[in-house]
């Protein structure tokens, strides 16, 4: 066995590079306030996170800032890069058996949980067991664990039921299992494995502890005085929920907020690109904007029709109109920065004449299609409207409709009849293993497979690639997914963030696998 220092996506193009602009007080119409002297960092949420900041429950986008800064796992991904690179965290060393079934970890000493108890090997089994017992969205990451055995307080071995090359990715990813205090879990167990307690408290080891969680109103983090690592510059982070994007931007422009980390619409992106009073950052992620096509409804039950719809979509125009300054046209069916450029190639030729010919022969009721988008995503409202225009030109009667996130996830496992024929969706993998994306998106029971589209060839290729992390097999799975006509990757999307010019360390605090968030302990003023 050899020590792993896994570097994924070797050879991938670095098209989504770290960039920062602005930072002076010349130009533009706003003058940011001076850096705070009270060591309080003011940020905000555009929507309430919507789920408790409990690492075994939280499985959304907005709100990662809470879980990733209060809890820590055994491993993490390096910040400030455009490729996922594993690093030590609460485990200082690790090995994997040649068949990716047995993993050993040497644990960091001198770490305290936020309840004051020491971190030891006992926490590994307790944390894995708790995630399995809660059995929410990210529970699958520990479902194949056969045993957890300890060798003293600081050595532990995890044995899986079957080989899994993605297991180390699970441990490091933003939704992966975090270490929780065994004593705290026991003390606050209640009747729900401490779920009630962890809605407004935490039992982590991170640089910050959760000191307020008022749903729909505000959240607050406070630096943990006994943190084992470097002490954060900011002693407190205040996060009000500001549900109006214009109000959020006004507070930022007036200097009341230090940064806006995500959810800026295209119009706002352009305004900040043009305003040199602020710093703006377009940072690499694993986010992609997809078009999903429902194979169970109307004209889309025919794969030929689904493919024709994809050919009618002018992807270049969508990207030009929506993602200028923060993304590019996708070349692969997988999200960016995951696989080398030669794998998972997506080649859908733009040719609206194919759909025009098909539409001419369809009855009127078959020509009516709905294009759906998540109501919280202004970019996909724009993209859906653009697609509506393009499909109308090809002969379809398309309408656009917004759906709340909860309703979209409610389609999973159903007959897809309440869902639209087409949906635009911004997504990213739980972990950077190609298997993880393929499984959650293309397997029939996947957590992002909203319309239940799949094929035996996809499932076989994913299963074949999992034991050894075979890019060739995962590439085959992607090619088979393209053949279904159910998915089109439109754009590789960056994290576009704006900040006051005095806020330092944004690039160094950003992790390619962790969208919409920063490692707050890396931020300072200057």
pLDDT in tens, 496-525: 999 999 999 999 999 999 999 999 999 999
Instruction: Write the DSSP assignment of 31-86 as a string of letters.
Output: -PPPPPSS-EEE--BSS--SS-S-TTT--SSTTHHHHHHH---SEEE-SS-SS-BE
The DSSP secondary-structure symbol of 164 reads: -
pLDDT in tens, 326-378: 999 999 999 999 999 999 999 899 999 999 999 999 999 899 999 999 987 88
**Would you place residue 32 in the very low, low, confident or very high pLDDT band (cuts 50, 70, 90)?**
low
Q: Which residue has the higher pLDDT, 325 or 424?
A: 424
Half-sphere exposure of 190 (CA within 13 A, CB side): 10
- The confidence score (pLDDT) of residue 513 equals 97
What is each CA distance from 164 to 100, 122, 179, 191, 445, in whole angstroms?
6, 23, 21, 33, 18
- The confidence score (pLDDT) of residue 19 equals 41
- The confidence score (pLDDT) of residue 31 equals 53
- The confidence score (pLDDT) of residue 60 equals 84
pLDDT in tens, 410-456: 999 999 999 999 999 999 999 999 999 999 999 998 889 999 999 99
Task: With a cut of 60, say whether residue 11 has pLDDT above it.
Answer: no
pLDDT in tens, 107-153: 999 999 999 999 999 999 999 999 999 999 899 999 999 999 999 99
**Would you place residue 76 in the very low, low, confident or very high pLDDT band (cuts 50, 70, 90)?**
very high
CATH architecture of 42-236+498-525: 3-Layer(aba) Sandwich (3.40)
pTM: 0.89
CA angle 437, 337, 320 (to 5 degrees): 100
- The confidence score (pLDDT) of residue 465 equals 96
**Would you place residue 15 in the very low, low, confident or very high pLDDT band (cuts 50, 70, 90)?**
very low
Task: With a cut of 80, say whether residue 17 has pLDDT above it.
Answer: no
pLDDT in tens, 82-97: 999 999 999 999 999 9
**The CATH number fitting domain 288-493, selected from 3.30.1280.10, 3.10.105.10, 3.20.20.140, 3.40.50.300:** 3.10.105.10
- The confidence score (pLDDT) of residue 265 equals 87
Q: Other CB atoms closer than 10 Å to residue 129's CB: what's the count?
A: 16
Indicate the range of 5-19, 105-119, 488-502 predicted with least confidence.
5-19
Q: Where are the domains of the chain?
A: 42-236+498-525, 288-493
Instruction: Write the DSSP assignment of 232-247 as a string of letters.
Output: PS-SEEEEEB---HHH
The whole-chain average pLDDT of the chain stands at: 92
The DSSP secondary-structure symbol of 301 reads: G
**Would you place residue 27 in the very low, low, confident or very high pLDDT band (cuts 50, 70, 90)?**
very low
Task: With a cut of 50, say whether residue 48 has pLDDT above it.
Answer: yes
Token representation of residue 200: 């407004």
- The confidence score (pLDDT) of residue 342 equals 96
pLDDT in tens, 253-309: 999 999 999 989 888 999 999 999 999 999 999 999 999 999 999 999 999 999 999
Q: Are 25 and 277 in contact (CB under 8 A)?
A: yes
Task: With a cut of 70, say whether residue 21 has pLDDT above it.
Answer: no
């Amino acid at each position: 066995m050899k020590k792993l220092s896994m570097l994924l996506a070797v050879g991938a193009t670095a098209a989504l590079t770290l960039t920062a602009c602005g930072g002076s007080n010349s130009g533009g119409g706003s003058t940011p306030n001076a850096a705070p002297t009270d060591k309080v960092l003011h940020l905000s949420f555009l929507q309430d996170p919507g789920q408790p900041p409990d690492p075994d429950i939280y499985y959304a986008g907005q709100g990662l800032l809470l879980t990733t800064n209060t809890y820590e796992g055994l491993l993490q991904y390096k910040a400030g890069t455009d490729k996922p690179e594993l690093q030590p965290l609460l485990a200082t060393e690790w090995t994997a058996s040649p068949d990716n079934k047995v993993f050993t970890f040497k644990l960091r000493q001198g770490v305290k949980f936020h309840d004051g108890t020491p971190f030891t090997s006992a926490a590994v089994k307790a944390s894995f067991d708790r995630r399995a017992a809660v059995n929410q969205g990210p529970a699958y990451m520990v479902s194949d664990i056969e045993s957890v055995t300890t060798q003293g307080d600081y050595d532990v071995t995890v044995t899986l039921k079957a080989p899994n090359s993605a297991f180390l990715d699970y441990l490091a990813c933003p939704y992966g299992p975090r270490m929780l205090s065994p004593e705290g879990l026991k003390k606050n167990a209640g009747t729900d494995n401490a779920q009630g307690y962890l809605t407004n408290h935490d039992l982590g080891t991170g640089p910050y502890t959760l000191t307020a969680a008022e749903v729909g109103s505000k959240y607050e983090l406070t630096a943990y005085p006994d943190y084992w690592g470097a002490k954060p510059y900011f002693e407190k982070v205040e996060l009000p929920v500001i549900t109006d994007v214009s109000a959020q931007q006004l507070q930022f422009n007036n200097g009341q907020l230090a940064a806006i980390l995500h959810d800026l619409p295209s119009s706002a992106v352009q305004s900040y690109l043009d305003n040199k009073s602020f710093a703006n950052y377009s940072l690499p992620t694993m986010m992609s904007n997809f078009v999903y096509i429902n194979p169970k409804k109307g004209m889309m039950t025919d794969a030929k029709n689904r493919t024709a719809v994809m050919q009618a979509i002018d992807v270049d125009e969508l990207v030009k109109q929506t993602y200028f300054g923060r993304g590019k046209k996708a070349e692969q069916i997988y999200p960016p920065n995951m696989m080398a450029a030669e794998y998972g190639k997506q080649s859908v030729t733009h040719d609206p004449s194919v759909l025009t010919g098909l539409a001419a022969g369809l009855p009127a009721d078959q020509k009516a299609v709905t294009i759906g988008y998540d109501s919280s995503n202004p970019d996909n409202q724009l993209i859906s409207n653009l697609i509506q225009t393009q499909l109308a030109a090809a002969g379809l009667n398309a309408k656009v409709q917004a759906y709340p996130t909860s309703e979209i996830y409610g389609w999973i496992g159903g007959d897809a009849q309440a869902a639209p024929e087409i949906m635009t969706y911004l997504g990213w993998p739980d972990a950077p293993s190609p298997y993880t994306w393929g499984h959650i998106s293309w397997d029939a029971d996947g957590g992002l497979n909203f319309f239940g589209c799949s094929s035996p060839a996809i499932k076989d290729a994913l299963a074949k690639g999992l034991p050894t992390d075979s890019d060739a097999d995962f590439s085959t799975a992607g090619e088979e997914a393209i053949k279904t006509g159910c998915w089109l990757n439109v754009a590789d999307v960056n994290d576009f963030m704006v900040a006051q010019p005095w806020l330092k360390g944004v690039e160094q605090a950003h992790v390619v696998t962790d969208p919409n968030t920063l490692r707050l302990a890396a931020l300072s003023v200057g």
